[in-house]
Amino acid sequence: MFDPVISPRELAALTDAAILDCRQDTAAYRAGHLPGARHAQLERDLAAPAHDPAHGGRHPLPDLDAFAATLGRWGITPGSRVVAYDDQGGANAAARLWWMLRAIGHRDVQVVDGGLAALREAGFELTTEEPAPAPQPPYPHHGLVREVADIDEVERARSAADRRVIDVRAAFRFRGDSDPFDPIAGHIAGARNAPYADNLRPDGTFKPAEELRALFNHVLDGVAPAQTIVQCGSGVTACHTLLAMERAGLSGARLYVGSWSEWCRHPDRAREPR
């Protein structure tokens, strides 16, 4: 099985990887990034404008042709070895980039285990020099090869005995204590909470595959990954759990891109608490 996670030591041994810095903060990227790292910024490169979060959430997927053109500008082709990192343990937004590449059929993409902090600890130097990769044609694609779930499928799945909806947001958001990003706090009725932070060890690296498998098997409770939908607030950190599930050998779950930011804006959709 191809591990979706790569250690800094393994990255150091590569000579031809296309490296993508997926931190949201453009200023932080300009202040220092890995040599050769292109900047993949969430709102600009990995999402479409959220004109109406009630239809697609706060981070809808970008137009695939536009994303393919962006990959080409970064010099990425179907033969590229792609490695992504951020400063949030892969959650914002290296895992989103990983999922998007996998979703258009690119297999050879990994996220740095432990992110920028682990890279720095391993001795990687930073540079302020902007990379100038040789541009390539738009990445050839035939649409998404990984299925996504829309709001109506989530409606069908949330109460079905043979389906599972997993909400990866922090427990306080799931409980409805408060929500720093969306106008209503709570969760989709019937969803189960498995915070994405639980995918990581205290040092910010991913748990081993066997630990992740035990974690997800408990949440799935007999439901197949292919019958599972993963959501978060806006379809970004959910990708972290999709990556962790793949590391655990439990691939096949679908991403609900709109997630809570879409669902909570529909008063006719069941939510808890009311």
Evaluate whether residue 136 is within a structural domain. no
CA gap 41, 4 in Å, rounded: 20
| Within-domain flag for 232 | yes
CATH classification at residue 72 = 3.40.250.10
pTM: 0.98
Is 141 inside a domain boundary? no
Q: Return the percent helix, strand and coil in the chain, to nearest 5.
A: 30, 15, 55
- pLDDT score at 274: 85
Residues 163, 76 share a domain: no
Q: Which two tokens stand for residue 85?
A: 């990192």
Across the chain, which distance is largest between two alpha carbons, in Å?
54
Tally the domains of the chain: 2
Asked if residue 104 is part of any domain, the answer here is yes
Residues 210 and 109 in one domain: no
Cα Rg, the chain, nearest whole Å: 18
Same domain, 153 and 192: yes
The pLDDT score that the predictor gives to residue 94 is 98
pLDDT for the residue 173: 98
Residue 130 lies in a domain: no
Pair 248, 183 in one domain: yes
Of 121, 139, 160, the one marking the end of a domain is 121
| Contact of 272 with 244, CB cutoff 8 Å | no
What is the domain extent for residue 237?
148-272
Active site (catalytic) residues: 232
Alpha-helical (H) ranges within the chain are: 8-12, 26-31, 42-45, 64-73, 94-103, 115-121, 151-157, 171-175, 209-220, 238-247, 259-263
Q: Are strands 271-272 and 187-188 parallel, antiparallel or unpaired?
A: antiparallel
Q: What is the pLDDT along the chain (274 residues), one digit of tens a residue?
A: 689 999 999 999 999 999 999 999 999 999 999 999 999 999 999 999 999 999 999 999 999 999 999 999 999 999 999 999 999 999 999 999 999 999 999 999 999 999 999 999 999 999 999 999 999 999 999 999 999 999 999 999 999 999 999 999 999 999 999 999 999 999 999 999 999 999 999 999 999 999 999 999 999 999 999 999 999 999 999 999 999 999 999 999 999 999 999 999 999 999 999 8
- Check whether residue 82 and residue 188 sit in a common domain: no
Indicate if 160 and 95 belong to the same structural domain.
no
